[in-house]
Every structure is written in C-alpha cells, then in structure tokens.
Amino acid sequence: MQFELSPEQQELVRLARQVGRDVIAPRAAQVDAEGVYPEDYFQAFKETGLLGVAIPEEYGGAGLGCLGLVLAVEEVAKHCCTAGLMLLLTRLSTMAISLAGTEAQKREYLEGTATGRRRGAFCLSEPDAGSDAQAIRTRAVRKGDRYVIQGTKSWISGAGAADFFVVAAKTRTDVPGARGFSVFVVDRDTPGVTVGRKEHKMGVRGLPVHQVIFEDVEVPVSSLVGQENEGFKLIMQNLNAVRPVVAARGLGLAEGALMYWLEYARTRQTFGRPLIEHQGLQWMAAELAAEIEACRLLTYRAASLVDQGRVGREAAHFLSMAKLKATELAVKAANDCLQMMGAVGYMEDYPMARFVRDARQLTIVEGTSQIQKGIIGRALADGLLAW
C-alpha cells in the first residue's frame, strides 16, 4: 500500500495551495459577506487547469482522477468552502456523463468543463424529495424523437452560473420507487428552463443555490444519459463517486480551522503565556490533529476506490464512511477552534464564525450523515463488511 503522493500529485498540491493562498484566502471574507459568485476563483481555476483535474486527458483534462480532485479541493477549502464546492461541481455535474454518456456528450460537456467553456449543475433534489430521492416528481415524457420535461428542482448549487444541468426525472409513472428513472443533460438556454430566485443560505454564500424550473422543456433523445428507465442506479453511482470530494471539503475546512487557531494561539497571551502553551487547549488541538490525519487516510482511500471504478454497492459503504467522518469532523473542528478562541472566535471579523456556518452544509449535501450511516448499516446487515 502506497502512502506517498506521486511527483505529479505533489505538483498538483503545490499548485492548488498557491491558488488558495494567492487568490482565495485574500477574498474569502468578502465572498462570504457579499454572497456573490466569485468569478475570480473560477478564472484562477481555469488558468491553472484545476477545472479539469479529474477529467480524462482525452477530453482536455489532467487525468488525475478523483484522488487528484480530492487533493485540490482539500487545499482550497482550507481558506474558503465555496472554492471547494466550485471544484466539486466539475465532478458532480459530469460524473453521470463520464459513466454512461455518449461520445458526443463527453466531447461537449466533459471537454467543455475541463476548459472552462462549460459550467454545470446537478439537479436531483426537489421541494418534496431531498434525502428521499425516489420521491421525485419531475417527469420526462417521450414524444417521438423528443422528451418533454416538467418539474421543479430545489437547492441547486451553482445553478446561477451554470449553462447546463444534469437532471433526474421519472420517465415511467406506473412503477414505484427507484424504477422508471432517467437522466438528461439540458442546456440552460433551452426554452422553458428558468433559474429561480437565489436562496439565502447561512453559509457557503459565494455559491448560491436556486430553484431550477422546467416548464414543457423539449429536449432531443440525444439528451438522454445512459438508458431510459435505468437512471436511478446511475444517479446513485454519481453521488457515490462524489462523496470522497465532499469529504475533502470537510477535511480542508477542518485543517483550515486548526491552522488559523494555531496561528492565533501562538500570539494570544492569557495568564502570562501564549494560548498554545496551555495543556488543556493542546489536548483539544491534538485530538483534532489526530482525527484530521485519520480522515485524510480514509478520504484518500475512498478516492482511490473511485479511481478503480468501484462506485457501486460493493464499495459504497467505504465512500460513505469518508463522507460521514470528514464532514462531521469539519463541524467539530470549527466549533472546537471557535471555543478555544473564546469571544474573539464568535466575532464576524474573524474567519472562525464563517467556518462554523460553512461546516454545517457539509453534513447535509450529497446525502446527510444519517443517510451515510444507513448505507454503512445496510452493508453490515448484508455481510458486505467483515473483519
């Protein structure tokens, strides 16, 4: 088992770290305060090739896979959770196409994403279908050589900036649950597509969420991703494959919170000595450091499984473990570091309050912590986990 990064991966970390320090860190507080999409982040990612880290070389990317994207996301998320989500969307909006798309779809949307020509969003959740993805009501009815899509998607990250959407819809209404699902790629400028008002989130404000409304949207049959009525498995594989990247956002946030506290604790004096010299605080920080390292190994392993093509039921529990532990750690690290800073940590003039608000998103998106526990528990019950 190899625990060292390759020279190429090390160079990627160096590049992402430089972007994080030079572009993202100076702007993070302003992006949070204004709640406006940071186009300068996107342009920096485009210029450095970070948009295509996980996309195969044949489609204009770097071909460094899920692990490469995890490494990049971890670095930028240390400074701003919005930046990590922007990079995550390059995977969330293209994974289904990568798994089951046609060659033409891959050329258009994978290559477009890698070069920055395209920006995508993933449309699954609905007003009455969040964790219960099987309950979606969006419909796609085939009429000759076209489908007509009707429905509303909610809480769609990056919808305001996206020019295409990967959309889950029911193509059969006579079958229950997960049966009769299909997946479509829909361009934003298609008649009948409307991006609704921006929602007001408590955190990760630089990448707003919107409703996306489909009113009698006609798309050609060539917009279908994969097989008709077999899309639920594809959607689940898409989510599974992205969970290590969500974990990387949590890992980066936890690292960023602890890094900031350490910097503060070396200069802040209490009872005649720096905070870092108080044993009680050292122990709290030591616990976080140990958990960060454990989550890093778990996350990197999960990303490696995805790069092996293991995104189905046989490995889903390992991907869920990474997402569960790293995102819950982000919440713990942000809260503990704020506590260790005292009243200063509670002030919005410092980044710790932002870390706390941002961390809460991570245990909800791409499957809540409870959904992850359900996946792991099911694997235990079914004998997929044994030691």
pLDDT in tens, 95-150: 999 999 999 999 999 999 999 999 999 999 999 888 888 889 999 999 999 999 99
CB 153 within 8 A of CB 199: no
Superfamily covering domain 232-382: Butyryl-CoA Dehydrogenase, subunit A, domain 3 (1.20.140.10)
* pLDDT(302) > 90: yes
Average pLDDT over residues 152-172: 96
Give 1's pLDDT tier (boundaries 50, 70, 90): confident
**Which amino acid makes up residue 373?**
K
- Residue 270 pairs with which residues in a beta bridge? 273
Per the structure block, which two tokens stand in for 110? 């994978």
Percent of the chain's residues with pLDDT above 90: 91
Q: What is the pTM of this model?
A: 0.95
* pLDDT(3) > 90: no
Give 48's pLDDT tier (boundaries 50, 70, 90): very high
Sign of the dihedral defined by the CA atoms of residues 125, 147, 185, 214, in that order: negative
Structural domain boundaries of the chain?
A: 7-118, 121-228, 232-382
Closest by CA position to 88, among listed 204, 169, 203:
204
| Angstrom distances, CA of residue 79 to CA of 19, 41, 251, 365 | 10, 12, 12, 20
Q: How far apart are CA 323 and CA 319, in angstroms?
A: 6
The DSSP letter of residue 124 is -
CB 113 within 8 A of CB 55: yes
Q: How far apart are CA 167 and CA 164, in angstroms?
A: 9
The class of domain 7-118 in CATH terms is: mainly alpha
**121-228 carries CATH number 2.60.120.260:** no
| Angstrom distances, CA of residue 92 to CA of 41, 141, 288 | 18, 25, 29
Known catalytic membership, residue 218: no
